């Protein structure tokens, strides 16, 4: 009789490449920086499709869930060109982000390479990292353009990322705020970490976005990235 218990989570002993998602992973969910992007996406959808904000919200969330990003849904179903979308939705106020020396110290102590893998743009990622003052710790950003506009969790995104940067997935760890984006990395051999909001904080997330904490492809769950890195990953 097979056991239904979750397998022993993978450890970090062999990890030599540390891969981080950006939004809601490297900064707290409760800053709601993503909410600004979310609202700009809704406004773009409303204007592009000539629909009400309520209908735009429905379309936005439907495409996000089915295609990985709203942008990909607009491209697939309406033939939208992505350049204007990407430029528009990332024009946000980054000032809520403050320098995070504790995070920088924890990332600096990780043995090996550090990379960003995001569905956003390089420009947005660089703005976030500079505000947090952690940009000098990262070797590169693999953004939506580098992924040929395919978003996580599409398998080809991870394949392109691993090939471009010469990463051995069996010696890599992936940190993400969406459990579904960890399924492919785990299947490839990566150690996976789901970063979730503290239970005491109010965040603006869809119900399905909060699911997956008990999934077999999630090795570890944390609501405090700095303390998790200090306790589990730093020498």
Residue 126: inside a domain: yes
Instruction: Note whether 21 and 39 are same-domain residues.
Output: no
* DSSP assigned state of 34: H
Instruction: Note whether 62 and 169 are same-domain residues.
Output: no
Residue 104: inside a domain: yes
Residue 12: inside a domain: no
pLDDT digits (tens, 9 = 90+) for 41-67: 999 999 999 999 999 999 999 999 899
Residue 107: inside a domain: yes
Among 89, 113, 133, give the residue marking a domain's end: 89
The closest alpha carbon to 46, from 37, 64, 59, 61, belongs to 59
Among 66, 89, 112, give the residue marking a domain's end: 89
Q: How many Å apart are CA 90 and CA 81, to the nearest integer?
A: 16
Instruction: Report the pLDDT value the prediction gives residue 206, as an integer from 0 to 100.
Output: 53
Instruction: Note whether 72 and 102 are same-domain residues.
Output: no
Residue 3: inside a domain: no
| Mean of per-residue pLDDT scores for the chain | 90
Q: How confident is the model at residue 214 (pLDDT cuts 50, 70, 90)?
A: confident
Instruction: Note whether 78 and 144 are same-domain residues.
Output: no
Instruction: Report the pLDDT value the prediction gives residue 209, as an integer from 0 to 100.
Output: 52
The domain of 63 spans 34-89
Instruction: Note whether 22 and 38 are same-domain residues.
Output: no
pLDDT digits (tens, 9 = 90+) for 154-187: 999 999 999 999 999 999 999 999 999 999 999 9
| Number of domains the chain is built from | 2
Residue 4: inside a domain: no
What contacts 24+ positions apart, CB below 8 Å, involve 40-46?
A: 40/88, 40/89, 40/90, 40/91, 40/92, 41/70, 41/89, 44/85, 44/88, 44/89, 45/70, 45/74
Q: Where are the beta strands (DSSP E) in the chain?
A: 17-20, 113-117, 140-142, 172-176, 191-195, 220-222
Instruction: Note whether 107 and 184 are same-domain residues.
Output: yes
What CATH number is attached to the domain comprising 125?
Answer: 3.40.50.1000
Instruction: Note whether 72 and 136 are same-domain residues.
Output: no
Instruction: Note whether 211 and 102 are same-domain residues.
Output: yes
Instruction: Note whether 85 and 102 are same-domain residues.
Output: no
Instruction: Note whether 38 and 102 are same-domain residues.
Output: no
Instruction: Note whether 218 and 191 are same-domain residues.
Output: yes
Residue 199: inside a domain: yes
Residue 10: inside a domain: no
pLDDT digits (tens, 9 = 90+) for 90-134: 899 999 999 999 999 999 999 999 999 999 999 999 999 999 999
Among 72, 89, 106, give the residue marking a domain's end: 89
What CATH number is attached to the domain comprising 76?
Answer: 1.10.150.450
Instruction: Report the pLDDT value the prediction gives residue 131, as an integer from 0 to 100.
Output: 96
């Amino acid at each position: 009789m097979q056991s239904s218990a979750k397998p022993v989570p993978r450890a970090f002993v062999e990890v030599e490449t540390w891969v981080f998602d950006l939004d809601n992973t490297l900064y707290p969910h409760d800053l709601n920086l993503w909410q600004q992007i979310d609202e700009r996406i809704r406004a773009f959808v409303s204007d592009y499709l000539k629909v009400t904000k309520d209908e735009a919200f429905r379309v936005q969330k439907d495409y996000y869930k089915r295609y990985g990003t709203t942008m990909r849904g607009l491209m697939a179903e309406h033939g939208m060109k992505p350049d204007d979308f990407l430029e528009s939705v990332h024009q946000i106020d980054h000032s809520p982000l403050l320098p995070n020396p504790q995070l920088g110290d924890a990332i600096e102590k990780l043995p090996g390479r550090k990379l960003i893998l995001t569905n956003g743009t390089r420009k947005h990622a660089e703005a976030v990292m500079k505000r947090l003052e952690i940009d000098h710790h990262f070797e590169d950003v693999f953004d939506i353009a580098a992924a040929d506009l395919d978003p996580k969790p599409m398998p080809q995104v991870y394949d392109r990322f691993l090939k471009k940067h010469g990463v051995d997935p069996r010696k890599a760890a992936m940190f993400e705020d969406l459990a579904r984006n960890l399924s492919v990395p785990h299947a490839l051999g990566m150690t996976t970490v789901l970063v979730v909001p503290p239970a005491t904080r109010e965040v603006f997330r869809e119900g399905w976005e909060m699911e997956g904490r008990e999934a077999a492809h999630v090795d570890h769950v944390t609501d405090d990235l700095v303390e998790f890195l200090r306790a589990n990953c730093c020498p």
